[in-house]
Amino acid sequence: MTPGLHAILSFLICCYRLPAVVYSLWLLVMNVKFDIHTCYYHVTFTAALLWILCNRALKGQELSQLQVSPTMSTTTTASADESLSLPSLFSCALSSASDAHHLSSIEDETQSLIQSSVVDLNSVSNRCKALTLFSDNETLEDIATKDLVYMFVPYVLGEVIGRTRTIGVRDRMLKLSESQAHFHTFMKLLEDYDVLPEEDRKLYRKMGGGGNMTLNDAAQRRETKISQYRKEKELRSKVLDVRARRGHAEIASPNNIDLIASLLPKEAPKVGRGNHDAAAPDDEDDEDEDVAREISLLLLRLIWTQALSQLDSMKQEMDLLRAGPQDEALTSAASDVRGERGAAAVDQTWRLDRVPVTGGPDGRGPLMDNQGRPLRPFTILPSGTAAERARFQSEVFRPDHRLPTMTMDEYLEEERKRGKFISGGGAASQEAPTTDEQLTMDSEQDGTRFADEKGEEKRVKDEKWAQFTDANPKGSGNTMNRG
């Protein structure tokens, strides 16, 4: 073996193992036949390797003194993640997911938070499987209250993955399928542990495990949602009460992820020489264990219902994506449009000028032909007057039938005025006085102005009747005695 090969071998091995330094020193001392260049090589390589090993030792000492923060990013190494406790790691994942929930999914910051949360949630899921927190041989009573919160891990995974930004129809369908798989895992876990009541499980089986829904099932599900919404208000108030007693920060409108995070146990304070009360047992948390377990089970049922709704929405989105154009069709259509535009640009060099089209509302030709078909794109703008805009707005949300414009009493009064009702007749009409009798009775009321007016009216009437009888004696009009 040549001296140069010895030196190179020593350099490569010494990057990882210390005995190679001893090997190089032994070659330097025992190999007296090497010339001055070989010795120079060995001394240089040995010094460089010793410097590398010293730096590695110092860096390892600095890393061992670092304290791991509970809010560190999920881009750290696997060894750093393993140093976190399971509640702290789950809290980091929920914190990133909650921050991403309040941001737009198209932002780069949101996608960074989503990827960080997915990595942490996968680590939490792997740890739960390694610790065997949930087993087929156990029942719901066998699970500790502090471990119920880890049942939400598949749901949070499905929720976060569903907000992942995708490019193209195929990528979106893959993400939807992955999110659906996590939701089904969450729902299957609750069904295995009998967390759900019998009516909810019947609804789940009728829907085919989150599949197609008939009209009857939709009506039943609406009733379930109404009752579940009432329970949600009670649940949220209880959760916020427990959060306040446990010292969590108040949130104006907490989402599902914030409610899940409130179920995580709060870290116990450190015990020092001047802090003897911190080591005392937390009797208040022991008393709240039953309340916390009840809240956890109610929250599991609530989120199960919401996951069921999300599965229906995802199924509808998948149907729309399958029915719509795929990525290849969109790419070919875009290339065809670009090709047509390029050909049109080339054709402009030899085509004749078109005759300018005039007319229409904007002077660029008519909008529609004689059959009512549009000839070119146009935009319907709102009217210029406020009265017409208000009229159009009032005509948008209204029933599809004509509403009444008057009441029944008003309609009957209008019909009476038109003479469509016959009044009088019968026994009441026979007993009622005639006009002459009524006029005579009114004129006999002495001492009143009304009686004087009626008396004068009766006198005029009698005088006219007398003049008529004088001008027309009896039998003068019927000389032939007919009738």
| Shared-domain flag, residues 44 and 127 | no
Same domain, 42 and 169: no
Together in a domain, 121 and 188: yes
| Residue 248 maps to a domain | yes
Q: What distance in Å separates the CA atoms of residue 221 and residue 229, rounded to the nearest whole number?
A: 12
What's the CATH code of the domain at 91?
1.25.40.540
Model's pTM, two decimal places?
Answer: 0.50
Q: Is residue 138 located within the same domain as residue 211?
A: yes
Residue 398 lies in a domain: no
CA angle 73, 78, 84 (to 5 degrees): 65
Within a domain: 333: no
The pLDDT profile of the chain, 483 residues, written as one tens digit per residue, is 455 555 555 555 544 444 545 555 555 555 544 455 555 555 566 666 666 666 655 544 443 443 333 333 344 444 445 678 899 999 999 999 989 988 888 888 999 999 999 999 999 999 999 998 998 888 888 899 889 999 999 999 999 999 999 888 889 999 999 999 999 999 999 988 988 887 667 656 655 555 455 445 667 667 766 776 776 677 667 767 766 766 666 666 678 888 888 888 765 444 333 343 434 445 555 556 787 888 888 888 888 878 888 888 899 899 888 887 776 655 665 565 555 565 555 555 556 666 666 777 777 788 888 888 888 887 776 666 777 778 778 878 888 888 899 999 999 999 999 988 877 777 777 778 888 888 888 888 777 888 889 899 999 999 999 999 998 887 777 677 765
Same domain, 208 and 257: yes
Question: Is 391 among the domain residues?
Answer: no
Distances (CA, A) of 394 to 295, 382, 398: 46, 14, 8
**In-domain check, residue 421:** no
Count the Cβ atoms, other than its own, within 10 Å of residue 254. Answer: 18
Greatest alpha-carbon span in the chain: 180
Domain encompassing residue 459: 433-471
Total domains in the fold of the chain:
3
200 and 299 share one domain = yes
Question: 25: which 2 tokens?
Answer: 């020193």
* 3-state SS, residue 100: helix
Q: For residue 295, is it within any domain? A: yes
Residues 25 and 92 in one domain: no
Question: SS3 for 374?
Answer: strand
Flag whether 477 is in a domain: no
Q: Do 122 and 235 fall into the same domain? A: yes
Asked whether residue 96 is assigned to any structural domain, the reply reads: yes
Same domain, yes or no, for 42 and 101?
no
Integer Cα distance of 304 and 176 in angstroms: 18
Q: Is residue 148 located within the same domain as residue 224? A: yes
Residues 119 and 211 in one domain: yes
Assess whether 181 and 216 both reside in one domain.
Answer: yes
